[in-house]
Structure 1
Amino acid sequence: MIVPRFWAEGRIQERVAGKQITVRRYGWSDESPIAAQAHADQRTREAFERIAAGEQLNRRERKLAYNGAEGVPIREEIVERQGDTVITRNSYGARCLNTPDVLFVDIDFDEPLRGSVFGFALAPALIAGIVGGWTAKTWLGGLIAAIVVFAVAYRIGLARKRGEASGNPVPEKRAAERIGRFVHQHPDWHLRIYRTPAGFRVLAMHDVFSPADMAVADCFHALGVDQVYACMCRNQNCFRARLSAKPWRIGIGEHLRPRPGVWPVSPEKLPLRDAWVARYEKAAAGHAACQYLESAGNSARVHPNALAVQELHDERTRAHSGLPIA
């Protein structure tokens, strides 16, 4: 797990075989901006030489948030460090806990929507329009049916895109059953179970793990973990848990400023960001990120690293506060 304090971008523009090639790469460091720039220049030179030799590589490295990066360190503002645990602010403004070896498992009741909300709503709307028009024997009837279905489907898609539970009790029951089966099959595990707005969060207390461990992959598969989360755990070599509310769940409709919210931002835009964060933190103070439900498993064993992370997690999420979760 790497969460650098400093970032920089390197750029090389040279002519090769009569063609101009421009290559950009990011660099990072915990030491200083100068060290970050030196790393960026080194990575840029290496990429340039490979591209000049004919290798098919992207000439520009995109500035991506956590869930879009592939092995590049976590590009988020560091809010706090507690030993190996790093608390960062993600691209939409919430605080997140990042740990290299304490296993968190997030289980969503409904599969999050990965594609376009518009595209998700369009297909059923078109079908409803055709069927409605044929039934009513008029294009107006088809249009009305299409509009109504599109509006309903769009709201459903938007909720799934935001990771909100549908209210259907069946997925929650199935998730609870998966946890129960896992505990029965792994009696030597000690788990803490939390309720999140859209699912369950499970924290392993009895041992520490590498994200690349086969036991972790088996656990993710058995519990039905979101594939993007599982992939990012492997790519970033860490486990992750959101500590504060999602902004849109606490009445903040405006995105983290400036957009797109990926760290770092230019110094002249920091006041805009700080103002948004202050407003967000004030609203988030009245909410918890999750609620502790129960412990499960026959083992009472507690690894000291897991205990330290659990105490930090429970305090920052307000898991025992009784506040509404968001």
Structure 2
Amino acid sequence: MKPIPRHWASVRETRTLADGRELDLTVHGSSDESPQDAERHARDRLETLVASGGPGRWNDPDREYYPDRRLPEELLDELHGPDGELIAAITRNRYGAAVLNTDAVLITDIDLIEPSSLDRAQDPKGSFLSRLFGNAPEPLPAEQIDPDAFGLQGLHRRGDHHARTLALIETFRAQHPQLGVRTYRTRNGFRLLVTGSGLAPRSDGAREFMKQVGSDEIYMILCRVHDTYRARLTPKPWRIDVDRFESLGTRLTDDQEHQAWVERYRAASQDVAVCRLLDVSGPAPSTVEQQIIDMHDRAVRPESGLRLA
């Protein structure tokens, strides 16, 4: 895989575009050489953006975490194969979690759909149609709902999605017996580590595999943008009562504020896990694939029995 940039810089300027719009623009640059070279890259990208007419269709707040370009991420670790080639890297994402990046094992997350908050707000016993046809379950009190249960207790539609997703995964495994499939439970769904595919993250084949198991469209975009599969290795800060991380684009990793946040986050992460291993099927992974699986499992603690976050 391509190396993750070691240095990042951001340029913020207010510029007037050819169509008369005046926009506050923030552009990131990267470099393996130095912070100064990263800043030069950022300025070059800013000029290219202005000359092209400004931000396009991805300039949408709802897409902020999944843009059409890499965002600055601190490089935490690298993993090399037996021949010395880079096979994986761990970075810190924009809200502070450690993320595995690799192109050697197909990874995909499958989120379960939350029931409509509007339905629940208007009718705590279910939607009008559910009540009309008599199939709305009685919701449990909030204090009785297991946060690891995917909301199956009292949330009927999410339970249906849970069952359908497991069926999709089982069908996928049956249709592709040549693949190794490790199935994990996450706080909000499932994660698959698929070995033996040889599919590049930007390939149509990878996209088709992810669609077969119901992966999120925006996750697939993220894989294409980074040209790696990605898997969160540590908890989301708000699930362990830690303040939200401030983007690396706004400060340096050796700042005291940054280091203090990392220490708070590490301490709060000790009593939780990210995944729970449910099942392993198919052929054994290659040596390189096993290295990546081991790196993933050391971080997510899949057999610890701890609360998922």
TM-score range, shorter chain: 0.7 to 0.9
Counterpart check, 1:33 vs 2:23? no
Match of 2:90 among 67, 80, 87: 87
Query: Between Structure 1 and Structure 2, how many residues are aligned?
Result: 275
Give the structure 1 partner of residue 133 of structure 2.
Answer: none
Unpaired segments ≥5 residues, structure 2: 81-85, 125-138, 154-158
Give the structure 1 partner of residue 5 of structure 2.
Answer: 4
1:127–1:4 Cα change, 3 Å: same
Match of 1:296 among 260, 281, 288: 281
**In structure 2, what is the Cα distance between the partners aligned to 1:296 and 1:16?**
55
Give the structure 1 partner of residue 136 of structure 2.
Answer: none
Counterpart check, 1:307 vs 2:290? yes
**In structure 1, what is the Cα distance between the partners aligned to 2:178 and 2:253?**
53
Deviation of the 1:221 alpha carbon: 1.2
Deviation of the 1:206 alpha carbon: 1.9
**Which aligned pairs between 1:240-259 and structure 2 lie closer than 5 A?**
240-250=230-240, 252=241, 254-256=243-245
Give the structure 2 partner of residue 171 of structure 1.
Answer: 161
**In structure 2, what is the Cα distance between the partners aligned to 1:303 and 1:66?**
36
Contact kept? 1:208, 1:305, Cα under 8 Å: no
Give the structure 2 partner of residue 139 of structure 1.
Answer: none
Give the structure 1 partner of residue 192 of structure 2.
Answer: 202
What TM-score do you get using the length of structure 1 for normalisation?
0.71
Paired residue secondary structure (2:76): strand
Q: Which amino acid aligns with 2:289?
A: A
**In structure 2, what is the Cα distance between the partners aligned to 1:97 and 1:66?**
21
> Over residues 74-116 of structure 1, what are the superposed CA-to-partner deviations in whole Å (9 max), with x where a residue is unaligned?
42222222233121222222211111332111112x2269xxx
**Which aligned pairs between 1:1-326 and structure 2 lie closer than 5 A?**
3-10=4-11, 25-48=27-50, 50=51, 55-58=52-55, 68-83=65-80, 84=86, 85-108=88-111, 110-111=112-113, 121=117, 165-167=150-152, 169-250=159-240, 252=241, 254-256=243-245, 261-267=246-252, 270-297=255-282, 299-300=283-284, 302-326=285-309
1:77–1:126 Cα change, 3 Å: same
Unpaired segments ≥5 residues, structure 1: 114-119, 129-151
1:41–1:254 Cα change, 3 Å: closer
Contact kept? 2:29, 2:45, Cα under 8 Å: yes
Contact kept? 1:92, 1:247, Cα under 8 Å: yes
Contact kept? 1:195, 1:292, Cα under 8 Å: yes
1:16–1:263 Cα change, 3 Å: closer
Contact kept? 1:65, 1:91, Cα under 8 Å: no
Report the structure, 1 or 2, having the larger helix content. 1
1:15–1:241 Cα change, 3 Å: closer
1:95–1:126 Cα change, 3 Å: same
State percent identity of aligned pairs.
Answer: 30
Q: Give the number of the structure whose alpha-carbon radius of gyration is greater.
A: 1
What TM-score do you get using the length of structure 2 for normalisation?
0.74
1:67–1:321 Cα change, 3 Å: farther
Contact kept? 2:99, 2:234, Cα under 8 Å: yes
**In structure 2, what is the Cα distance between the partners aligned to 1:16 and 1:196?**
45
1:269–1:127 Cα change, 3 Å: farther
Contact kept? 2:187, 2:308, Cα under 8 Å: yes
Paired residue secondary structure (1:264): helix
Give the structure 2 partner of residue 145 of structure 1.
Answer: none
1:303–1:209 Cα change, 3 Å: farther
> Over residues 141-200 of structure 1, what are the superposed CA-to-partner deviations in whole Å (9 max), with x where a residue is unaligned?
xxxxxxxxxxx9xx9xxx9xx999322533222111111111111111111111111222
1:164–1:226 Cα change, 3 Å: farther
1:112–1:222 Cα change, 3 Å: same
1:86–1:112 Cα change, 3 Å: farther
